[in-house]
Amino acid sequence: MNNKPGKILVIDDDRDILLTTRVVLKKQFGLIKTESDPEMILQQLENELFDIILLDMNFSAGATSGKEGMKWLREIRKKDGSAHVIMMTAYGDIDLAVKAMKEGAADFIVKPWDNQKLMATVINAYRLSQSKREIIELRRKQELLHHDLDQEFSEIIGRSDRMKVVFDTISKVAKTDANVLILGENGTGKELIARALHRESERSQEIFVSVDLGAIPETLFESELFGHVKGAFTDAGEDRSGRFEVASGGTLFLDEIGNLSLPLQSKLLSVVQNRVINRVGSSRETAINIRLICATNMPLYRMVQEKTFREDLLYRINTVEIKVPPLRERRSDIPLFTDHFTRLFARKYNKTGISLHEDVYQKLDTYSWPGNIRELQHVVERAIILNDKNILKPADFLIMHDTSRITDPVGFRMEDVEKQTIQQVLEKYRYNISKAADELGMARTTLYRKMTKYGIS
């Protein structure tokens, strides 16, 4: 087995040159491909991703202008903008060398060459190509990691018996590369479970890439997950790696997998089975090395029976299954979450010294929490935002048991939350300003001012 790194393509119409470069470069590099016909260049690039391309400047008998080489240099750069091309010529024309460099060549070498000079030139170009590729991948990974920098919390909260089962499964599975399927209602913390599996795995120092499949349009599915090459479609202005490629070496978390249509399930199944991807617009295969974790709130087993989810895909993604209990089935964890969110949002909104009356926990325990942890988080955040008291009481936590009256705000900007809450409390007390102001924990004049601000009448 050849473990040497680097793939080199040599294009020259002189077969002696092709033989010489193969003999010299095979000592250092893993794959040396040679081609005497320049018309085959683009086909070679379709089949393989080369680190370095050695390209002759002249192919026609007696030609010395270098026009043919410049033409093929442009074609190569058009096909692969990151290609590192070393131009070869028997004529040491400095102007031609400068022109080639301006067109994107990485270097220039004159024939006949000294073998040591050839090796040094190719090695330097190879190192440069590797550095540039690493920079491109790092930038892509930074894009995907950027949203993780401001995570509100990273640890899973819970002491209930149901969560102890989840923790036990995580500890057993994390060190393996087994595919994991996480099942649970919206808002139960499925992504936190996925992150915990990654954090405890052998891949913990590598990237964790999270993808919300429900948010990706079908037309962009392949491009987002598998990447694309320049010119693959109208807006493809540059080569771009997909989420599978970016996650290689680390963990890929596919959330809302139950939302995929059957055609997209088939495309995903092929990649999960074969562990190779093809960027859109390219037939070149790229091997990927990922730990796959999937999640959904949908009944996949029933969907299999209804023929809306592929059975073979289901059994590919759920080597191990983790069921995350809803908050109503782990009520002993409600105080833990409440205290955590209170501390979190007190810091966020600069309201120090806040504590909760003991009756708050009793009130929160009687609610069914259809929105699970996420809903509890929003309830606590509203209470912190709208109150300036040091001790928060049950009335400060606005839970409408008539859930038909609740609508989630479009966003969770402070003004949006405040406006909606004021409206709900005013409706509750039929616009009795005194009672509404008392429940909201603000003076009547403050409430009037805020009603005017938000256009509430």
Are 248 and 263 within one domain? yes
57-92 tens-digit pLDDT = 888 766 667 788 888 998 888 887 778 899 887 766
pLDDT at 353: 85
Tell me the C-alpha distance between 299 and 297, whole Å.
7
Are 206 and 102 within one domain? no
For the chain, how many structural domains are there in total?
A: 3
Return the half-sphere exposure (C-beta side, CA atoms, 13 A cut-off) of residue 55: 33
Indicate which CATH number applies to the domain containing 159.
3.40.50.300
> Are 331 and 345 spatial neighbours (Cβ–Cβ below 8 Å)?
no
Are 159 and 291 within one domain? yes
The parent domain of residue 447 ranges over: 328-454
Nearest residue to 336 via CA among 186, 194, 176, 153: 153
Q: Residue 17 burial by CB count (10 A; 0-12/13-18/19+): exposed, middle or buried?
A: buried
Query: Does the pLDDT value for residue 409 go beyond 60?
Result: no
Are 23 and 89 within one domain? yes
Which of 81, 100, 134 is a domain's end point?
Answer: 134
295-309 tens-digit pLDDT = 999 999 999 999 999
Tell me the C-alpha distance between 193 and 173, whole Å.
12
Query: Does the pLDDT value for residue 410 go beyond 60?
Result: no
Are 286 and 370 within one domain? no
Nearest residue to 321 via CA among 342, 339, 294: 294
Q: Give me the residue label for tokens 């403050």.
A: 446
Q: Give me the residue label for tokens 């004049």.
A: 445
Are 239 and 214 within one domain? yes
Are 173 and 52 within one domain? no
Are 161 and 306 within one domain? yes
199-248 tens-digit pLDDT = 999 999 899 999 999 888 888 999 999 998 888 887 777 888 889 999 99
Which of 271, 305, 325 is a domain's end point?
Answer: 325
First to last CA, the chain: 78
28-63 tens-digit pLDDT = 898 999 999 988 988 888 888 888 999 988 887 666
Can you spell out the DSSP letters for 77-113?
A: HHH-TT--EEEEESS--HHHHHHHHHTT-SEEEESS-
